[in-house]
Amino acid sequence: MLVSAKEMLDKAKAGHYAVGQFNINNLEWTKAILQTAQELNSPVILGVSEGAGKYMAGYKTVVGMVNGMLEELNITVPVALHLDHGGYDACYKCIEAGFSSIMFDGSHYPIEENVAKTKELVAAAHAKGLSIEAEVGAIGGEEDGVIGMGECADPKECKMVADLGVDFLAAGIGNIHGKYPANWKGLSFETLDAIQQLTGDLPLVLHGGTGIPADMIKKAISLGVSKINVNTECQLAFAAATRKYIEEGKDQEGKGYDPRKLLAPGTQAIKDTVKEKMEMFGSVGKA
């Protein structure tokens, strides 16, 4: 059964480790992540962006697939199904569809409007037992056209949004989505420290986990980060393994064209990536 992400993240914050959010795109992705979490006895958060939700034929389809797997694969570790960077309408759709957690990304609104909408969604999510994440200070990335260095959130604005009753908070600390540019200046631990001092026990979320060096990840966890989002890294690993299979001509040997064979190396690559991240975040054995 899906659970809200609140309890697993409160435990992570108290225990000084982080739980990974791994974004899903299809059945192989979902199965690889769930099986790895079970094997490592780790809690896990499955992230679904609005685009991925559409791609998988809608939020209800995703809920059906995930719930089916939890039962059929005997998954007993805590699993949350979380809307990633949801707009206002998508948040309501996911609450209705059976998600167990949502993120409302109101970072592009003026702070007053972000606060008003977040407050309303906190009440709607909590009424149905879902956890809710909010974002302050936009997280940069390729989608902005120019690859930015990533904004740093204003700690006072973080405190204002934290006080609305959100269960965990994403704050920009120089992190960006996608691959990091060679001249990236690194995470702003000064900002992170200032945010944690004002928000106390609230678990903080680090978006754009792909390519952040392990020592920075560990320092971020020591400063209150309890949830780390991983998306691009699984995509790169899947693509590289699939490319290798085809370039080696394996799809043309015997029944190598069978999708179950064709997608197997990529699926294994996702498992390996998830395992590496869970070990780095310290969530192994914490289910």
- Interaction site with Zn ion (CB under 5 A): 207
CB closer to Zn ion out of 44 and 69: 44
In whole angstroms, what is the distance from residue 139 CA to residue 124 CA?
A: 25
| Residue 55 C-beta: closest distance to Zn ion, Å | 17
**249's tokens:** 């001509």
Question: Residue 26 half-sphere exposure, CB side, CA atoms within 13 Å?
Answer: 9
**Burial degree of 281 (CB within 10 A; 0-12, 13-18, 19+):** buried
Q: Is 185 left (phi over 0), alpha (psi -120 to 50) or beta?
A: alpha
In whole angstroms, what is the distance from residue 204 CA to residue 198 CA?
A: 12
CB closer to Zn ion out of 207 and 271: 207
From the list 84, 144, 163, 201, the catalytic residue is: 84
Q: What is the DSSP string of 254-276?
A: TTTTSHHHHTHHHHHHHHHHHHH
CB closer to Zn ion out of 207 and 227: 207
Backbone angles phi, psi at 131, to 5 degrees: -90, 160
| Residue 21 C-beta: closest distance to Zn ion, Å | 9
CB closer to Zn ion out of 229 and 283: 229
In whole angstroms, what is the distance from residue 80 CA to residue 44 CA?
A: 7
In whole angstroms, what is the distance from residue 265 CA to residue 246 CA?
A: 10
| Residue 252 C-beta: closest distance to Zn ion, Å | 39
CB closer to Zn ion out of 141 and 265: 141
Characterize 162-185 residue by residue with b for buried, 16 or more Cβ atoms within 10 angstroms of its Cβ, and e for exposed: bebebbbbbbbbbbbbbbbeeebe
CB closer to Zn ion out of 159 and 207: 207
Amino acid, res. 59:
Y
| Residue 6 C-beta: closest distance to Zn ion, Å | 19
Which parts of the chain fold into alpha helices (H)?
A: 6-15, 27-39, 50-55, 59-72, 88-97, 111-127, 155-162, 189-199, 214-222, 232-247, 259-262, 264-281
84 a catalytic residue: yes
| Residue 209 C-beta: closest distance to Zn ion, Å | 9
| Residue 62 C-beta: closest distance to Zn ion, Å | 18
Identify the CA nearest to 22 among candidates 80, 76, 65: 80
Instruction: Give the residue numbers annotated as catalytic, written as ranges.
Output: 84
